[in-house]
Amino acid sequence: MTDLDMDLLRAFVRVAETGSFTRAGQMTGASQSAVSVKIKKLEDRLGSALLSRSPRSVRLTSFGARFLSDARSLIDLHDRVTARVSGPSVQKRLRCGISDHAAGGRLPEIIASLSKALPEHRLHVAVGYSDTLYNDFKAGLFSAIMVRSEDVEGTGHVAFEENLVWTAARDFTWETGTPFPLVALSETCALRRLATGTLKDAGIAFEDAFTGTGVGAIQGAVSAGLGIACLDRRNIPEGCREVGELYRLPELPKTRMTLFCREDPTIVSAILQVFRDAA
């Protein structure tokens, strides 16, 4: 067997993670056919098939499943040695996905802390909905994601647990008996579904007072006195208060922010500490 080329190994890992030659090519900047050629070269060098291909799917063979862990270990070792030899100027790219609720108004602080905690890495950060980030993580588009655990399936590293609360501006008043003025994200947000489900179970009629596209927009609408929102306690805007007890609203459950990460334990610990410090 000849020497194994890192470029071939990276192509194989990306295909294994995404289940697609096309998506693997998008991540590596190569065409689908180029990725296919790389996989064929690697299989020829190993003397065994790594992937089972069909018009609708790409799956690991039994040999490919066993070899995947070895491929990742070889890539990791290669990158660490290269970084050590080349000096601190060489940084490994770390793709991070962060749920909007996990960061809230602390996003700049969190990104700055992550950069400080992981100086050997070049961060690429995306903020979005937990379920979308989780699907992209499973597809191999992120190295690490911090998401609400209730929104996804799977077991990760719990960063912290927090109370969800009903909040409104200090001078806001709601006349009970009138529709509940809901301030929330769009229908695709799991937290909105939780809030509306809780209201329905309690027999409280509601109407949309404001629909936003991010936590910052929700905080702004609540501060402006447009209505009542369900938010993580740490995301209560300045000048607002909890109003659940005041209006005898149904109690909201606790929520967990969870890290999913395919990097080594030192990176996992660093990311968890940053979010715990910001909680």
d(CA 192, CA 187): 7
**Where in the sequence is the domain holding 202, given as residue range(s)?**
162-255
User: Phi-psi bin for 128: left (phi > 0), alpha (psi -120 to 50), beta?
Assistant: beta
10-39 pLDDT tens trace: 889 888 877 788 877 766 667 888 888 999
Contact predicate 16/64, CB 8 Å: yes
- Model confidence at 245, in pLDDT bands (50, 70, 90)? very high
d(CA 60, CA 56): 14
**∠ at Cα 215 (212, 220), nearest 5°?**
70
Shared domain for 112 and 186, answered yes or no, is: no
Shared domain for 242 and 200, answered yes or no, is: yes
Q: Residue 264: enclosing H or E segment and its boundaries?
A: none
What the block records as the tokens of 265 is: 């334990």
Q: What three-state secondary structure class fits 240?
A: strand
156-209 pLDDT tens trace: 999 998 889 999 999 999 998 899 999 998 877 778 888 999 999 999 999 999
- Does 256 have pLDDT greater than 80? yes
**CATH number, residue 194:** 3.40.190.10
What the block records as the tokens of 194 is: 């939780």
State the Cα torsion 135-200-160-239 to the nearest 10°.
120
Shared domain for 167 and 244, answered yes or no, is: yes
Contact predicate 100/184, CB 8 Å: no
Q: What is the DSSP string of 177-205?
A: TBPEEEEEE-TT-HHHHHHHHHHHHTT--
Pick the last residue of a domain from 30, 56, 86.
86
Q: Residue 74: enclosing H or E segment and its boundaries?
A: helix 62-86
Residue 134 belongs to some domain of the structure: yes
- Provide the percentage of residues in the chain whose pLDDT is more than 90: 41
Lowest average pLDDT, out of 18-27, 34-43, 218-227, 251-260, goes to 18-27
108-144 pLDDT tens trace: 889 999 999 998 888 888 888 888 888 888 878 889 9
Residue 50: its pLDDT value, please? 93
Shared domain for 173 and 187, answered yes or no, is: yes
Contact predicate 222/183, CB 8 Å: yes
**∠ at Cα 119 (116, 122), nearest 5°?**
105
What the block records as the tokens of 177 is: 């008996």
Count of domains in the chain? 3
Q: What three-state secondary structure class fits 47?
A: coil
Residue 2: its pLDDT value, please? 63
Separation of CA 239 from chain center: 29
Tell me the HSE value of 4 on the side-chain side, using a 13 A CA sphere. Answer: 19
- Model confidence at 102, in pLDDT bands (50, 70, 90)? confident
What is the chain's Cα-based Rg?
23
Residue 1 belongs to some domain of the structure: no
Strands (E), 129-194: 144-148, 157-169, 180-185
Residue 104: its pLDDT value, please? 76
Shared domain for 60 and 183, answered yes or no, is: no
